[in-house]
Structure 1
Amino acid sequence: MQAERGPRYSGVAMLLHWLIAVAVIVNWQLAENARDGDNLMQLHAATGITILALTVLRILWRLVHRPPPLAPTLHRWERVLAHVTHAVFYILLIALPLLGWIGYSVEGKGIDVFGLLRVGALPVQQGGHDAAEGVFEIHETLGSAMIYLIGLHIVGALKHTLWDKDGNLWRMLPFGTPKA
């Protein structure tokens, strides 16, 4: 595994992080405003598949390019919370799109990804919308958990920036001075 130089993430890691972050927030808003079967729900599904693809790329990149170490000034609880939060983010970034795709597949539908590609239904037992409802409820519950986790992540970034003034936020931005 190749270690990153200095306390900052690589440009590719930053790009993937911010693309995924923006896509998740956009997708949350699409879901909040969509109705079953309308164009917003189709955009929500397409964006979900895009998030899945970007997350797989991010994980592959991370396996080859080790992230910079956490600042030595962090308390043990902060280190544990950082590792747990990131692990849960990755789990949700994989599970949410897969559950949405499974739900569509139970309905017997594939997903049109912005007219560029069609992702077919997974080989699951089909049963129509009523049968898929349980999958979509789990998807929605985990989506809410993702929003809370994003809030925790933002609070942590603000704490490090405004309270600790340790430059931790700048590790994931191409500007500023990380101090780690």
Structure 2
Amino acid sequence: MTNMARRYSIGAMIFHWVIAIAVIVNWRIAENAEHAEMPEKAAIFADHKALGILILLLTVGRLLWRWTHPVPPLPSTLAKWEATLARGVHIIFYVLLIGLPLGGWFANSLAGREIDMFGFFTIPPLPVGDDPEAAKAIFGLHATGGSVFIYLIALHILGALKHTIFDKNGGIFRMLPFGKVPG
């Protein structure tokens, strides 16, 4: 198997890193909004919402890319539990990458709010009616999901570093266009 066949395609790499950066930036935006006072808080959350919708669109693009481009196999040196954990975390990532933005949009819709896409256009609320209590509950779940996501990202980074530094199986280089991915 060639070095390129053991790593993700350039398109997958671009989607991965753009989405990863966007998710971390969006987490920091939400953290900053939590510590702000109105009306600044609302303005900061507007950016969080818009970036969340952009992450959703990028994730749909990434899934379409994944379904049309082969994914390299996991290194054969992984223990069964490591391969299971890797697959499970990736599935949860996709669930969160889709579920968090949709949940945020749904909660905003229940609160009667549209989503301003960085001043270019607005996304109207979903036709779900007003229910501030349900919106509040969903926002709570959204925040919890975001926290879970950050912990899983940390686990993902630690795993990639472990495989790269200690196992020397190419870990992080599978998602970069440089570096050696051993056969």
Instruction: Tell me the SS of whatever aligns to 1:175.
Output: coil
Q: Deviations over 1:107-141 (max 9, x none)?
A: 1111011122321111212124x441101000001
How many pairs align?
Answer: 175
Q: Which amino acid is 2:17 matched to?
A: W
Equivalent residue number for residue 30 of structure 2: 31
- Partners of 2:161 and 2:171 within 8 A in 1: no
Q: Deviations over 1:36-72 (max 9, x none)?
A: 6521100000000000000010011111112111111
Question: TM-score by structure 2 length?
Answer: 0.91
Q: Distance in 2 between matches of 1:58 and 1:117?
A: 23
**Is 2:112 the partner of 1:108?**
yes
Q: Distance in 2 between matches of 1:88 and 1:134?
A: 21
Equivalent residue number for residue 145 of structure 2: 142
Equivalent residue number for residue 64 of structure 1: 68
Give runs of aligned pairs for residues 1-180 of structure 1, distance below 5 A: 6-35=5-34, 38-128=42-132, 130-180=133-183
Question: TM-score by structure 1 length?
Answer: 0.93
- Partners of 1:168 and 1:179 within 8 A in 2: no
Q: Which amino acid is 2:21 matched to?
A: V
**Structure 1 portions without partners, runs of 5+:** none
Instruction: Tell me the SS of whatever aligns to 1:38.
Output: helix
Over aligned residues, Cα RMSD in angstroms?
1.3
Q: Which amino acid is 2:25 matched to?
A: V
Q: Which amino acid is 2:153 matched to?
A: I
Q: Distance in 1 between matches of 2:86 and 2:54?
A: 25
Q: Which amino acid is 2:6 matched to?
A: P
Q: Which amino acid is 1:168 matched to?
A: G
Q: CA deviation at 1:143?
A: 0.5
Q: Distance in 1 between matches of 2:70 and 2:80?
A: 20
Instruction: Tell me the SS of whatever aligns to 2:5.
Output: coil
Q: Distance in 1 between matches of 2:10 and 2:116?
A: 30
Q: Deviations over 1:65-89 (max 9, x none)?
A: 1211111111111111111010000
**Structure 2 portions without partners, runs of 5+:** none
